Amino acid sequence: MENTICANPRCRNSIPKISALLTRARERDMPVVYSLTHAGNVSDIAYPLSPATQDPVVKSNVDKFYETDLDKILHDRRIQTVVITGYAANGAVLHTATAAAFRGYNVVIPVEGMSAPNPYAEQYTAWHMLNSPGTRNRAILTKMNLIAFCH
């Protein structure tokens, strides 16, 4: 949710929703990992979603596993399920979620936490995650208020 790319209303409207989920995750001491575009900086992240000092940050193209330490970060923390939010649904959310599923992670995508310039891109991402042979057995689409954090 870099300010430079999260400029349309659909993206901006998802920030408070993601912020509420982030707060719930932090209250349960859940690890949070941030991703940026190649040109992004931590200071570009929308203020309500600012990372804590201990939060790892990776920088990559649309697949945030590509040429980053993301898999190692998750593996070292014994993470089995990832919750993915962000912009753009049909970019980083789709490709990072797919890459996570290919690596054996369970993937949870809260639909109100992924946005794109138009609803079709969001719908396509949802359809793809639930129907693609590589993701359909690992992906869950849900609403944020239905996510429960436990250790």
pLDDT at 149: 85
pLDDT at 109: 98
- pTM for the full model? 0.94
Residues of the chain with pLDDT under 70: 151
pLDDT at 123: 96
* Contacts (Cβ under 8 Å, ≥6 apart) of 27: none
pLDDT at 151: 63
Instruction: Name beta bridge partners: 142.
Output: 110
